[in-house]
Amino acid sequence: MTKFSDLNLNPKVLKAIEEAGYETPTPIQAGAIPPALEGKDVLGIAQTGTGKTASFTLPMITSLARGRARARMPRSLVLCPTRELAAQVAENFDTYAKYVKLTKALLIGGVSFKEQEQLIDKGVDVLIATPGRLLDHFERGKLILTDVKVMVVDEADRMLDMGFIPDIERIFSLTPFTRQTLFFSATMAPEIERITNTFLSNPERIEVARQATASETIEQGAVFFKASRKDREASEKRDVLRKLIEHEGDKCTNAIVFCNRKVDVDIVAKSLVKHGYNAAPIHGDLEQSQRMRTLEGFRDGSVRLLIASDVAARGLDVPSVSHVFNFDVPGHAEDYVHRIGRTGRAGREGKAFTIVNARDEKNFEDVEKLMQREIPRIELPGVQATTADAPEAAGEEKPKPKRTRTRKPRNAPKEAVAEAPAETVAEQQPAQEQPTQAQPAEPAASAAPEAEAANDSADKKPARSRSRSRKTTEQRDENRSSSRGGRDNNVVGMGDHMPEFIALSFDERRAS
């Protein structure tokens, strides 16, 4: 079995590794360190949590042990997509280079320019930066990149997702052509492949795991649920999250909850705090000092639940994260791998659960297609009602059957109404106004007293009144029909009246 002592590293670096408690390199470290020490370009592809950071920090420290940097001209450059990842890389350099006299500078947002410029003016051997802040210093004239001997691009696929590829290409053009390039990524999108073909020279490709795979030590699961009502979906989803946390109990020592949107990060964090959980949010809109305090609290255990956006999916190196909860299914399937990669690190066991509602099913299918496996479905006590498809179980009302009504044709005689079904006529007019032909001559012996009373009251009406009412109704229908030009109107043209002058011939009118 390969050990760090077999990799031809600097003895001072080996001493620092031993004090850190490591003896055996991971597969990506064993494959990337030897060609990096030989000065070759390296293209490393490995899943999150496999030790990619040490794969380039250890050979860089060994290569830079000799020499000294000049003012404003760093000897090496490490590009990271997020502030947290850049801070993690800086911590790794502090750990492994404590017996080697190397200077470093961390250029990230949220920190004063003046303090960073003072470090650059003194000269740094290792410059660790995010692309935006690095270009800010360069455009201010405070940084010269013509002396860079080793350039590292970490988490290149995340750079692509965050839109940093144009900045990366510009930074490459500012560095010497003779530099050594170490390029690391968890996935290889076509755009990443294009960059590696453009800026890397005959790289040594090390791929220790299939692209976009999760560690086998991570137990995965998915909870499907359907909200009882659309306006209750968000609150019921937060309730499912709390049930998941309660279901794990003491096994969930600490966890990261991932949301797709920053506003949801704040809402979920406030909801958990309201229900008695120790939770704190972290996303890109927070001040850097607050983000660092939150991360430090999560590392030392004072914060149990870290509610995060994808800004924390990369660069958050907390080895003992027991659980990851995906409150939302990520829009990009690759982000799922990086999210759950926050647990189960360095061979430890971990658990990752995802909450899936109806609108997330398509994205979840993309995740399973990328993972090339079906993620097990789990059921939670008290959530069965939200998973039922029946409307009664979801608290929905059954749709009422439509009533069909027979429409009376325009200008149709009243006898046609009498021939319609009894139910239809009953809907169109009250029972006491139905035609007398539909009623028996005498009420049956078994008829109810109420029916007999109604018939008696109807018989007591004067015949003259009923006749007048019928005549008035017929006259109204006749007038309505004639005003609308009904089909029964036989009057054509100008009607019965015609002026006499129209009937006279031309000669008669002249004679008169």
How far is 55 from 29, CA to CA, in rounded Å? 5
Q: What is the pLDDT of residues 473-495, one digit of tens each?
A: 556 555 554 444 444 445 455 55
What's the pLDDT score for residue 16? 94
- The answer to whether residues 224 and 356 touch, using CB atoms and an 8 Å cutoff, is yes
pLDDT at 85 over 70: yes
What pLDDT, on a 0 to 100 scale, did the predictor assign at position 72? 92
Handedness of CA 297, 300, 305, 308 (dihedral sign): positive
* Burial class of residue 135, CB neighbours in 10 A (0-12, 13-18, 19+): middle
> What's the pLDDT tens digit per position in 55-68?
999 999 999 988 88
Q: What residue spans define the domains of the chain?
A: 4-207, 218-387
Residue 187, pLDDT > 70, answer yes
Question: Mean pLDDT for the chain?
Answer: 79
Rg (CA), the chain: 41
218-387 is classed in which CATH architecture?
3-Layer(aba) Sandwich (3.40)
As a residue count, the chain comes to: 512
Closest to 54 (Cα-Cα) out of 96, 100, 83: 96
Note the pLDDT tens digit of each residue in 425-460. Answer: 344 444 444 444 444 444 444 444 444 444 444 444
Q: Do domains 4-207 and 218-387 have the same CATH topology?
A: yes
Q: Residue 257: beta bridge partners?
A: 307, 325
Tokens 């502030």 -> residue: 83
Long-range contacts of 369-374, Cβ-Cβ distance < 8 Å, separation of 24 or more: 369/333, 370/212, 370/333, 370/334, 370/336, 370/337, 371/212, 371/213, 371/214, 371/336, 371/337
Q: What is the mean pLDDT of residues 385-412?
A: 46
Is it the case that residue 342 has pLDDT exceeding 60? yes
Query: Does position 255 have pLDDT exceeding 90, yes or no?
Result: yes
CATH superfamily name and code, 4-207: P-loop containing nucleotide triphosphate hydrolases (3.40.50.300)
Which of 171-175, 257-261, 284-288 bottoms out in mean pLDDT, i.e. has the lowest? 284-288
Residues of 391-404 as b/e, b for ≥16 C-beta within 10 angstroms? eeeeeeeeeeeeee
One-letter amino acid at 213 equals T
Express as a percent the part of the chain with pLDDT over 70. Answer: 71
Amino acid 474: pLDDT: 55
